[in-house]
Each structure stands twice: as C-alpha cells, then as structure tokens.
Structure 1
C-alpha cells in the first residue's frame, strides 16, 4: 500500500514538472555567437587630448549629444555618456582642464577634467571625471529671456566660466560664474556694442570679434572694463571671422590668420587648407592640412614669424571612401630615446569618420557615419566558384539526352581536375569574393548588409562578424526635400547566376535639387551600369517593376515633379504598362493615384483618383504611411475558429495604412488611421483616437495592422491591433483585383497598454511565411522585445469559462508584459534606437535582424523555434550508436527468425 502511494506521488510530481513552461533563455556561452554589436558616438563637434599621470585620452563631443573618451592607441571606447535628446542635450561648450592638486580646497576652486555646457533653456553645466566619466558636479542657468538664450556663448578662463549673451545691434551681457559651484561673481556686465551683428561676429576664446566693413573690432571680455580695439584691414573680407581652433588670440579671416595681440602678425594659408594652433618645441605653431586626391599633406609654420618649420612637411596616403579632412586635435611629445618630436593628429572627415594618424600612416579609424543609417538591405552572397560551374551547366540549354549526359560527364571530369590541381597547388586562383569569405552558405544565414547613411556613404558589412568589406562616399547625394531619406533599391539579387547583383541608391543632388542615381554591385561595392547618373528632373515617387526574363533585372519607374514618367533602363518601358502608383502630400493630407499607360511610345501617368483627408474645419497632416513588405508570402489564407469553421483573411496587396494628426479645440489632439486601397482610391476602413499624438510607430502585414501612440489623457503609451477578414466565404482564392466590387471586410480591433515608450517596430519575415509572425518592438531603454502575435491578437477573448475558445488564444489582459527572456539583445542595449530591419534566411524558421540607431545590433530570431535545424548539442555519437544497434539487431532478428522458421518446417 505504501509503495502504491509513493508511485502515485512520483507520478504527480512528474506531471507538475512537465506542466511548467520553461523559458527559452540565452546561455552565457552563446553571447555574441549569433550576434554582434557596434557602439558608436556620432560625428565630432570638438575633441581634445588629455594627459594625466597615468595615461593619455581623447575626449570628444559629438552631434549625437554624446560625450566620450577614446584610447589614442586603438580608438576603442573607454567610456561614453549619452546626454539628453534634442537641443536640451546639444553640447554648446566643451573644455578640458588639466589636473591640479588633489586637495579638497584646490578641487573646489580650480576644476579639473571635462567641463561641458549643454542646452540653453536651461543651460546645464557639468564637470566630468576623466577616468570614469562620472558627473562630479552640476549646476544650471535659466535665462530671463529664452529667445535670447539660443545665441548664448560660453568660455572658460582662470577657474571661471563666462556666459555671454549678445543682443544684436545693441549690447553684450556678460556673467561670470565659479565653474565648480555656479556662484555668480558680481553682477551681469552690460557692454554697449551697437556694431555687433549675428552674421559678422564670433567668439575667439575670451575675445568677442566682429567685422565692420574692412575694420576688425574686438573686446577682451575677461577685463574688468573691456576696451574696444580696432584694426583696419587692407582688403574687404567676404566671410565671417572664424575662431582659430585651440588658439586664444587669433582668428581666421578669408584664408588669413590674424593675431589679436600683435597687429603685425598675419599669416596667409592656402584656400583649401585647414588651420589648427598647437605648441611645438615650446613655440606657438600653426598646423596646416590639405587633402589632394588621395594624399593628405601636413605642414607647420611658426605662429610668430609665419615661417615654415624644418622637417615639418608630411604626406599620408588616404584610402578610398573619405571626404575632406578637418584637424580636430593634436598631441605632440618627445619620442622616447630621441630628441625629436612626434605628433598624433586626430581628424574628422566630411563623411563622418574619425581618423588618427602619426604623420606617417593611419593608426585607426572609426566609421561614425554608421550612427545615422537611413537605409539598409540584406543581400544574398554569390555562389562559390565550384558551385558556379555547376550552375552554369544546369542553366545551359538542353539539346538531347545524349548531349546532356556528355555535358554532365565533362563537368564532373573538370571538377575532379580542379580538385586535383587545387590540392597540389596548381589550381586556378580564387575569385576576390571567395578569398574574402563572401560565399553563400548552405542555410542562407551568411549575407551582406548594405547600409546607406545620411552623410552619403555606402557600406558593405558582413552580417556574421560586422567586418566592413567595402565603402563608398558620394558627397553630392542628399535626402529628398520633404525630409524623406535616400532610397536603397535592390534591382537584382545574387540568385541569378551568372548575372551580377545590382543595387541602386536614389537621392537628390545637393547643388541642384534634381534626382541622382548611383548603381553598384552590393557584394564588391564597385559601380555598375554607368555608376553615378545625374537626372535632369526632381524625383517625386519611385517604384520597382517586375523583373525581365532575359537578365532578371527589375527596372526602376520614376515619377518626376511634373508627373512625367521615366523608366530606367529605357528599353524596359513596356514593363511599366498597367502599373499603378500613388503620391502623398504630407502637409495638406492629400493622396493621388495614377495609372501608368505604356502602350504608346511615351509612357504616361494618368490621374485616376484623389483623396483629401483634410477638411476646412480640421486640416490633417500625414505623419506615417505604411505599406506591406513586397517580399512577404502569406502561407495560410484563413483562421480556424472554435467551431471548426474557417474565417478567411482579407489579404489585399494594394492596401496602405495612412495615419494623420489633427488639432481639435476640445480634445487637443486627434489621431486618425485610414486603410486605403491605392489602386481604386477607396477607403476600406478608418478610425480615430482622441487625445492621442505622436510618437507613432506602425507595422502593416498580411491582414493585420499594429500601431503605437501616446495617450495624452492618461499619459501612457498604448498599442492598437486591427485584423481584417473577408468572412466565412472567400471571394477569390486565386487572383486579387481592387477594381472588383469587393465586400466590406470584417474588422477586429483591440488596444493594449505598454509599460515603455516605443521607438520602432517591425514584423519578422521568413522565406515561405509558414513560421509564426512576431513583432519586434524597440523601446526607449534600448531593448528589442520579441512580442508573439498571440499576445497582440485582437481576437483575444474576455475570460469566460463557458465560452469555447479558439486554439492557442489567450484571455484578454490590457497590460502587455515585457519579459526579459523576450529581449533579443539581452544586455546589449541599443542607444537611441531608430529602426529595425528584417530579412528572410535560407531556413524557414529563421529571420535575420538588424536594429540600428546610435549603435548597431545584428542577430537572428526563430519565432517558431528552429524546427528545421538540429540543436547545437545534438548527440551525433548516441544517435549513430542507436542506429547501428537497431540495424544490427534487425539483421540478427532476421537471421534468428529464419532459423526458427526452418526448424518449424522440419517438425
């Protein structure tokens, strides 16, 4: 009896353990095995070397509101502090003060380390520890008149921080603060200066310098009673005075360096040279840098005599892919064992890179333009040389059976010959892509990431390890006029061997505003099909046409500002026939649809519909337009209900979600969501959210829509999901036509509460669409949460025991959980996350992901687990032993069975 009870107890415990839902977490040894992270700081505003008793560091402030310390030997981040977003966190003043006595009195009266001033209303003054980056002291200044605070200037002098507010055409207001405490020293000085103008004045350290026709006027603001000093120039300047970097007593005016202390000194520099002041061999020196094609020249002149110093001319070979250089900081020291000076030069480039050189070669480079990625694509890698030969054979046109057999045998013989010569070292040299390891793998997990940045730079990045294989800088490329970024278009992938892959970057030329097209090979980075093409019209809209059977190239359809149609290449005009396009005016809230007619010699865009979402009483501004992913495949056409009937999805490939924002005197903000068929122009569905506003993120896929917004009434982030169904009868299961009279879809919608601000959202995508859809949500903390669709499903039922539920449905709860095990970037936070891009891999279970903002994070996710791939810890030895034992056992059993049958027969 006791043994029976024990058995029941064991069975009960086993049942309880099996009922637990064990979480799928990341093991410690799997960190950075399938993912990698790149931490960036952004484009440099200012930089300075800092030398202490223990080491040398480079402190930088960037346009991304980041303060950071870099190692001068390797360029790696020692620490990084991300300041507030927007104008509140913009660095307006940056100063490095050397270390002083370690006594408490000295630290109180004389600051050491890094001093920054951020924002203007209020202006926040902070002191940072050079070793750790921690804030040591902080105080703020709130201006009396905020409209003047935007022009405020700051400078540091002898333990004091000076706050200068110019009132243009009237006077200067100067306030003196103790840097460490913010205590005001005296009252605000008011200096009469009716000659100051915004376009003709600058602050050079403690000197406020202005230009009045051919006269230079300046004040030393550190004096108790500043005296106006003037200098008449023998030429009429064309530009505004510019403070000479790292110099207290000189300015740069029309390529002439003018001293404010000694009026006799004025040095001429080359027009395209960059000037920087430094101390070399205990003498003031001016370093001039000039870039001529691929050569960077560095020369030094004496600041007192304007004579060139001996042995100061240096030349550095610059690789491709960089714009103009600007010298940001210099550190010169006596080399060990010699009496010669050696200098480290820190440069920033026009394309956003940070480069350190010792005057002979480049020591390290940081590609900081990757902190502002505006377009990204995953590109399949090409086949290996051996696989390419097989593909060539298979693609050859068959003649007869005998010819195919001969080709097959000859191909196999050639492959054996190639293997033999490769083994003995006499084989054909590998191609450049195969040497670089850019070869397609068996599961399609190895791909090339092509990224375009807002500086006009293109990158080819390996998605497995983050290695930059190539880069290309296009200085004339800019985004479009309506704040739209450049477009990266994949016209041909690597799957069509032997045709080379082709991508196009479409943007706007900075000087003319006309369209610009750059075509290139995304694997090698080399230009293709003519490379950079300048268009003689402004691009209003673009679309990809269906690929041609001859070369598998998808032509590009462009609509210009006059609604004229252009097809590239021009011989593909016939592919544009029966196409539909639409345009949107964000400010007026107007959408217009066009029909492309290519039956005649000239391709024409005919307007067929127009929708105005605004009205006279309530103008609406379009804030988001979301279409479906063109690479998306819908595997299941319906949904099985609890009564075993099927609810068919409303899968309209021409459906676009348009979100508008309007102001209301009662509800303050109104958010409107429209689902519009862009072929017929009909509004399929619309809904409004009162007291809701941006930030808004939206995902549109299959038959559902997810969007997040800020509820101003209850002050929280909410997320709404919408599903569309045709009903229990499918209208047409083969061909969809927006021109037919379709029934009104059934709408299911639900709202949820999210405990964090949503920065971006994207759905997962796979090769065939069999795998479950998950939504990747990037939140303000830098985490990327993988949210299963079961939690977002608008058909989640309210808990009712008596009501039958659909399979897999979860009872409705308003709050959406954000469990840590669902964060795909675990502790690798992505600072200032802006966008997420997904792409299918060769495995149906796996989706490739890149999340980017200030940082970059690349990984892979499996929403339905890796059902088509063996686990890493799969025991091959055990399964081999089992199979061998089973096979051996079957033969033994067969032999024994035969012997038994034989004995039975003899009886």
Structure 2
C-alpha cells in the first residue's frame, strides 16, 4: 500500500508527458555536427561515394564524425565521441570509415559509411599511456592494405598494429625500440608486401628523417635507417605518399623540396632535390597519388611533381599567403583549385586549373572569409565545392549556385536570451503622428479584409476552433515579426564564441531570422535585454564582448535590434581600453549596464545622465560578487561602490569582503540564482502552520575544489557581506569537480557523483546523486523574518534552516534549470539534460525534501507528500525531448510565455532543442477536447425551448388566477 501514492504520481506525470502528435508542433530540434576540423588532412572534410550516394565526411571541433548528404545538406548520420576521446583522424576503407581517437590514438573504430553503424571498436592502449602532442594528429595515422584492405594503425608515435578490416582483431603489433622523445614516427605507408613507418629523430638544430620498413604479413622489421636530412617542422614539412605502387617520402629542407623513393631494404638514401626554386611551404592538396604537390614561395605557387622524376610544373598564381588550395580528379586529369580575394572584382573567387595549359575556370564565391574547401565532380559533370568559412558556415556549391548552407557555428553557442515579440496590432498603431486623412485611408484599405475576418469569426464562434496550448505558433500573414496568441513565438538571440557570430532564431520553428558576425577576435561574454516591447519600442539587446588584437584586449559592446540584428548605436562601442572584469545589468526604472575594468572603475552603457543619476541614487544598495586573481589563485570578493575624486567621472568598486577558504581550497566559478516573480512567500502545512521561504535576493552559488583531498565544495553566499548560508563538501569524481547546481527562490538542487562510500555502509552505493534543499526563515514554522526585504546586516539575516534530501539518479547530467512562468503561480519543474542525450522534466513534488521516510500521515497526505523512495527511476514519460537525440547540452534557458501555465525550455550545446512544458497543467486554456459546437447547440436549444414554453406558462398562470 505504501507504493500507491508513488504509482499515482507516476500515472499523473504520464498525463503531462508529451504526446506523439505534439512532436514537431510544440518543439523543434536542430541537429548539428560542429565546425569542420580543416587544418589537418586527417580530419578535413572530403567527398565519399557509396552505392551512387554522395556524402561529405567531416570531423568537427565538437568531437563529432558525421556524414552530410550532398544532395540537401542533412545529417545522414553522426557519431558523437566522448570529450576525452578526441578525434585524431578518419580514413575511408571501402564501405567503412576507420577512425583513430583518444590520447595517442588509443581507440580504433570502424563505422559503416552509409548508416554510421559501428562495425568494430578496438582499444590499442590505455588512455593513461597515451602520448599527448600538439597538433593532435601528430604521431598517429592509419594506412589501408593494398590487397587485404586490412587496417594498419600508428599510435603513440612508435607503435604499429595490423587490424582485421571487419572485426578489428589485431594480427600483430610492432613498437619502436626508441620510445623516448628522440624519435617520433608520424607517417604510415603500405605497399603490396611492406609497411613503411616514417618519422623524425631529434638532432641539435633540426630533425632527421627516420624510416623503418616492416613485413605487412608478420610485422617483422625488414630495415631501419636514418636518411641524411634537416627538417625544421615535423608536422608541416614532412610528407609520405604512394605513387604507381611505390612509396615515397618528401620533405622541405632549407627551402628546397626533396623526395626519396623507399624500398624494403632502405638502401636508397639518395634523395631527389628541386633546387631551381625556393619554397616557404609545401602543401598536400589531395593529389599525392600522382606525386603532385603545391609549393608556395616568394615568386608564386607552383605545382611540383615529387614522384619518380621530380620536376617543377606550372605556376598557378602569384604569391598570396591567404590563398587556399585543393586538388581533385576530373575526366581522368588532375585539377588544382585556388581560392583567393580578387582585387579586380573585389570578390572571393575560386580558380580551377586543369594543369594542361587550358584557361582556368573562375567561380565566384559569396563569402570573403573562406577557411577551407574541397572539390568533387558531380555525375552531371559540374564541379561541386564544399566550403567552410572562418565564421563557421558550411556551404555546397554546384557550379556557381549555392545548393545548400548550414550554420555550424550554432554548435559553439555560449549565450542565449529570449526576447518577446510585439503584438501584431502594435505595428498598425506605430504611426501615432499620422494625420486623420492618412488614418482614414489606411482603414479603408484594411476594410477589404473584413469579409474574411467576419467569416472566420463566425466559424470560430460556432466551432470553437481557437488556438490551443499545443497548437503551433504561426507567423503573421504579412510576414512581420509579431507574437502569437499565447506568446510562444519569441526571438532567441544567441551568441557563439567562434567568429563572434550572433543569431536571431524564431522560437516557433528554429528558423534563423537574422545573423551577424561581430568580427575577428571578438568573443561574447554577456548578453542583456536592455529594452523590451513593454517599453513601447522594438526590443534591443546588448552583447558585451572581449575583442583581442595583437596590440590590446578591449571590452566592446554591441547594441542590436533584436528583431532585425541591425546596430542601434554604431557597430561596436569600446567601453574599456583593456580587459573588463565583469558586467551587470541594473534596472531602476530604466535598464543600463555597468562594466568594471581591471582597476574596479565603473563604466556605464548607455553612458547618459539617466544611467548615472539612477546609479547615484541606488549605488549604496548594490552588492555584486566577482572573481579576481590573488597570489596566482582565484578568489571571490564582494564590492560596494563609492565616488572617488581620483577616479574622475568613474565610480569605484571597493572590496568589502573576501570569501575565506582553507589554504588548499581553490575557487572554480560562481553562478547567479534564477530570478523571477514570487507568487507565494510560504508553504502552509497540514497542521495549518506556515513555513516562510528564505528569499534572500543576494544569494549566489560558489564552486570550489580541494585537489589534495579530492573534494568539491558548494557554497550559498550572501553577496552583501560574504556570509555563507549553506555549504557542503562532496567527493570528486576521479579528481574532477563537475557539480551541476541551480538556485530558484528558496530551492537549491545540485547533482554530483558519489565515488567514495564506506564499506560498512551497506545502504549507500556509488553512483550519481541529486540533492534537493529548501531554505526557510527562522528556526521553524510560523517564524517569519521577511528575508526578501531584510538587510544583510540585520541580526536575523542568517536565521535560516533547511530541509535536505538526496536521491539516486540514473544518469550523469550536463545541465539543469528550473522552469519559469509569467507570474510564478504555476509549480516548478526541474529540467535536466542527461549525458545519454535526453532532456527530462521532474516535478518539484517528486524532489520534495520533506517526503517522509514512512507512510505519510493524513496531514502530510493533505499537503501532497508521499513516502520517500531513494531512487529516481528512469521513466521514459519524463523525457520531453521525445525521440530526438539532443547531444552534449551545455546550458538550459527557460522563459515564460503569456500563459501562466506554460514555460519555454531551450537547450543548446552541440544541438539546439526547444519545447514548452506546463508544470501544473494547462489550467488557463480550454482543453482541446472541449466541444464548443455542442455547447452552442445546447444553449441554443435551451433558448428555443424557453421561448416556446414561456407563453404556455404565462397562460397557465393566468387560468390559475381566474379559478383560484
């Protein structure tokens, strides 16, 4: 019987679970892969064709391997690697993509190129044994057997393993004798019978080429030789390739291109040298199977043949350090393409050279910040160009037309802000100064829509076909941005740390409304809504950024119209010459931003009399927590503001307290509480006493780590004087502190991994924990101290007690946040993003720390409490992301809709996902099953019956009066 309340709650939660028919209506999912890793040939995008289907394989900075459909740019499949399992390279082997990842290339995997299904996975060494080098692909590589199609791997810069192409089972392993830092193997080649391991050995001023030949069948060493050479950069100046069945090593030495034909005995040590022209850089453009490379020098770029007969080819352009090259095969001929900025046309163009003295083909490109491209010839014969820009846009050109485009910089989003849209009627009421004649003409023009409006009104009145809480948010008929009936349609302004890219996203469908690139070297740090539709103007956002250049690091703000992305006040305003320490939004009738510089001087934006007057009138009430460096460590301190004549027109923040911590405890970061309207100041218990919420608006969360004791700390601190209201020490997870926490009103929830459990405690197990804490005023029920309005220096400010309970949670969590509604009347749900790529919602009732450890009494049952269960079960009905795979969520942002019952939920990381939830049910809208037509007919029938029977009743009463 004690489980009946829990079963009832689970059944009730199922009523609020998302229905299959709502998927794609109340939510959307933007599946991303991340910006391609184009700097290394091992991870750069490339075309692949299997069974007449063309895909583009790419590894991304988000540690994802993906295949994009070349037809429409959709994600055919993707494989998301763990953060510690960084991709080192991927290689096509027939219908399989073979990857090498992890420290030193610890794991080899095979994935089906059509479906992305894992065909094999083989660990080659432990992560702790991995060689950490930069760049990540150095000392790692894969080669494919010419006849067997088996996979040969180079890991840790000295180990070669042969793996079965289907199962990944190792046949043999060879490790170099010199595993010290003196010799590092970087390249791997295979011919019919021989495997060549090519690397460098360290000498006094440069590196010397070192080659080992192995038997491909047994792994036995055939020869080991050092080649007289002088290589400066082992990762950029050394190449290896197979041309016409023969293996070659090529390198750049003192500006000369050199190549060496390799044989199993390695007796040939006489390298070919191209001494007629000096080069600054050699480029492998994808034609190494023909021995063709591009050499860049002061006299221009030249095609070089480093195969059997080393020779200089045609010059393909003047010297241009920013030019990018790529090669491809078409019509049985090699082609080399070059992208560069044309001063004559003032456009970025792509020049395709056929290397047969024919005129090059010129293709104009839209973007001026091209970072990488790769080419392919479509079945139609037209060249296809897959292009990656510095700002994270990827595009496919077919001929001169853009076939599709993807904004992969969205996968690097760090900031997001919901912005309400204006009502549709407000756009018509904007022209307040229009004359009577103009208004009369406008109304006459609008009168043409009256018949349609009238018929729509009659239909709605009779059938009740109004918008429901689960209906899709629709755009205005005229295409203008305006909110829908329930406020589900808003603009989400996001900022990415790559390229300083800012987007305006339609919350109703995920479409990009506008985008802005803030410029190179710009990193957004904060985003604030400084004007809303309630101010009677278009909403405006201010993005605080750090702009880096070779000379300085400045704090720059960008003031944008949230509906269009256009600048409101110039294209970036420099506020601080130097790095700002923090930024805060203040609201005293009008909103403005204060930014602190490294001298703790206050800078205003907008810097006007109104902002300064508001700050002067209220600065004594401010208490803002910040982080700073002290003796090489981060400290938390609080500041109060004052005016100092020495600082001129800038107020100064003076430190008033510093959080005292033990000597070996270090600060990680701080996190502000979620702010919103508070509808209830207390909780009425079953015995009619009241617990009053501790609603201190100055509380913030501080995270610490004690490495020597493998402990993590969490503190709730009052920013006015540094008083610690709540603190807890938690075990670190393998030395790492990754606590996820959130604070809303008086409710604190945090998640961690319990890694240390006493062997004598049989009731505790290792695993993930969720701890829920509720803070209340005073020492018990009916003890009210009015904490929301109390000064921190009041004696009763720290008069607080807590209820606390922990639960076993089934998954690791990457982000969590409480729901937020317009007036705070609805209950709160906890939204969590788990590392198994799901978004889940948990009601506060389930996480109530006052749940009794026994059968609840009648008074407790009246409050809605039910018996405590230490396990939070993995109930699929709580998954609000439905079947979507929402990968690597970094943050969850919630925002209210116009409906008090509904909260918007936006999760972003690798992917973007938005949905809406109703923690207390949609109590403020009629049910979709409400039958208005039946109600209208019933009422109409009653009216008709009354009208019909009324004369009969009147006649009857008249007769009764006559015969009484």
Moved more, 570-579 or 852-861: 570-579
- The one of 9, 21, 42 aligned to 2:34: 42
**What does residue 879 of structure 1 align with?**
935
Q: 1:800 Cα deviation (Å)?
A: 4.1
Give the CA deviation at 1:775.
Answer: 0.3
The residue that corresponds to 1:540 in the other structure is 581
Give structure 2 stretches of 5+ with no counterpart. 1-6, 38-43, 159-179, 196-214, 242-247, 453-474, 757-764
Alignment partner of 1:350 is 2:390: yes
The residue correspondences of 1:618-637 to structure 2 (distance < 5 A) are 619-630=664-675, 632-637=676-681
Q: Equivalents in 1 of 2:190, 2:120: separation in Å?
A: 14
- Distance in 2, matches of 1:816 and 1:844, equals 28
What's the TM-score, normalizing by structure 1? 0.84
Question: For residue 163 of structure 1, what is the aligned residue in structure 2?
Answer: 154
Residue 739 of structure 2 aligns to a residue whose secondary structure is strand
Q: Secondary structure at the match of 2:565?
A: coil
Match of 1:11 in 2: none
In structure 1, the residue matched to 2:641 is 596
Check if 1:758 corresponds to 2:741: no
8 Å Cα contact 2:237-2:252 kept in structure 1: no
**How far is 1:127 from its partner?**
3.4
In structure 2, relative to structure 1, the CA distance for the partners of 1:233 and 1:86 (3 Å cut) is farther
Return the alpha-carbon distance in structure 2 between the equivalents of residues 834 and 474 of structure 1: 23
Question: How far apart in 1 are the matches of 2:121 and 2:269?
Answer: 33
Residues 368-416 of structure 1: per-residue CA shift (max 9 Å, x gap): 11122111111111233x43444776xx9xxxxxxxxxx9999985663
Alpha-carbon distance in structure 2 between the residues aligned to 1:140 and 1:188: 27
**Distance in 1 between the 2:226 and 2:35 partners?**
37
Q: CA offsets, 1:193-219, max 9 Å, x none?
A: 674444674443436554444344555
| Counterparts of residues 607-686 of structure 1 (less than 5 Å) | 607-616=654-663, 619-630=664-675, 632-664=676-708, 668-686=709-727
Partner of 1:403: none
Query: How much does 1:500 deviate?
Result: 2.4
Please, which moves more after superposition, 568-577 or 537-546? Answer: 568-577
For residue 220 of structure 2, what is the aligned residue in structure 1? 186
Deviations 1:417-471 (A, max 9, x none): 342367799xxxxxx9974342122221111111111212111111111211111
Tell me how far apart the structure 2 counterparts of residues 599 and 642 of structure 1 sit (CA, whole Å): 55
Identify which of 480, 491, 514 aligns with 2:554: 514
In 1, the alpha carbon distance for the partners of 2:559 and 2:584 equals 16
Q: Residue in 2 aligned with 1:784?
A: 839
Deviations 1:211-234 (A, max 9, x none): 444344555567651636364657
Match of 2:535, SS state, is coil
> Hey, what does 1:416 align to over in structure 2?
443
CA 1:524–1:141: 2 relative to 1, 3 Å:
same
Residues 97-131 of structure 1: CA deviation (Å, up to 9, x unaligned): 4x5xxxxxxxxxxxx54332223445333333332
Structure 2 Cα separation of the partners of residues 246 and 195 of structure 1: 25
On the 8 A contact 2:89/2:141 being kept in 1, the answer is yes
CA deviation digits over 1:729-787, x for unaligned, max 9? 32238834323332421121111110111111010000000000110011111111110
Residue 300, structure 1, aligned to residue 352, structure 2: yes
1:310 corresponds to which of 334, 359, 362: 359
Aligned counterpart, 1:556: 593
More displaced stretch, 539-548 vs 154-163: 154-163
> Pick from 722, 727, 732: which aligns with 2:786?
732
Higher mean C-alpha deviation, range 408-417 or range 366-375: 408-417
Quote the residue 1:229 is aligned against.
271
The equivalent residue for 1:387 is: 426
RMSD: 3.6
Q: Partners of 1:408 and 1:279 in 2: how far apart?
A: 68
Aligned 8 A contact 1:576 1:597 in 2: no
- Could you tell me which runs of 5 or more consecutive residues in structure 1 were left unpaired when the two chains were aligned: 1-15, 100-111, 336-340, 397-406, 426-431, 480-484
Q: How many residues end up aligned between the 2 structures?
A: 829
Matched, 1:459 2:493: no
1:125/1:138 contact within 8 Å kept: yes
Rounded to whole Å, the distance in 2 between the matches of 1:188 and 1:812 is 69
Residue in 2 that maps onto 1:134? 117
1:449 to 489, 492, 503: 492
Alignment of 1:887-906 (within 5 A): 887-891=943-947, 895=951, 897-906=953-962
Greater relative contact order (Cα < 8 A, sep 6+): 2
Q: In the alignment, which residue of structure 2 is the partner of 1:567?
A: 604
**CA separation in 1, counterparts of 2:877 and 2:903?**
18
Pairing 1:372–2:427 present: no
> What is the CA–CA distance in structure 1 between the aligned matches of 2:10 and 2:710, rounded to whole Å?
48
- For 1:795, what is the secondary structure of its paired residue? coil
Q: Residue 161 of structure 1 contacts residue 178 of structure 1 at CA under 8 Å; is this kept in 2?
A: no
Report the counterpart of residue 830 of structure 1 in structure 2: 886
2:141 to 149, 154, 158: 154
Query: In structure 1, what is the equivalent of residue 57 of structure 2?
Result: 59
State the distance in 2 between where 1:629 and 1:720 align: 18
> Which digits, 9 at most, give the CA deviation of each residue in 1:663-713, with x for residues without a partner?
34xxx4222221111122222222223456532111110011101011111
What SS does the corresponding residue of 1:557 show, helix, strand or coil? strand
- CA-to-partner distance for each residue in 1:120-168, whole Å, 9 max, x for gaps? 4453333333322223445443399733776313253634646383877
- Shift of the 85–352 alpha-carbon distance from structure 1 to 2, 3 Å rule, reads same
Q: Indicate how the Cα distance of structure 1 residues 901 and 70 shifts in structure 2: closer, same or farther if over 3 A, else same.
A: same
C-alpha spacing 1:811/1:198, structure 2 compared with 1 (3 Å):
farther
Q: In 2, Cα distance between the equivalents of 1:189 and 1:478?
A: 52
Change (3 A) 1:417 1:516: same
Change (3 A) 1:96 1:171: closer
- Distance in 1, matches of 2:776 and 2:256, equals 76
SS of match in other structure, 1:562: coil
2:626 corresponding residue in structure 1: 583
Other-structure match for 1:816 = 872
2:161: which partner in 1? none
Task: State the match for 1:325 in structure 2.
Answer: 370
Alignment correspondent of 1:104: none
Judging changes above 3 Å, is the alpha-carbon distance between structure 1 residues 182 and 494 closer, same or farther for their aligned structure 2 residues? farther
Residue correspondence of structure 1 range 395-434 to structure 2 within 5 A: 416-420=443-447
CA contact (8 A) 2:104 2:139 kept: no
Which residue number corresponds to residue 363 of structure 1? Answer: 403
- Is the Cα contact below 8 Å between 2:809 and 2:871 reproduced in 1? yes
CA contact (8 A) 1:390 1:411 kept: no
TM-score, normalising length: structure 2:
0.79
CA distance in 2, matches of 1:148, 1:674: 35
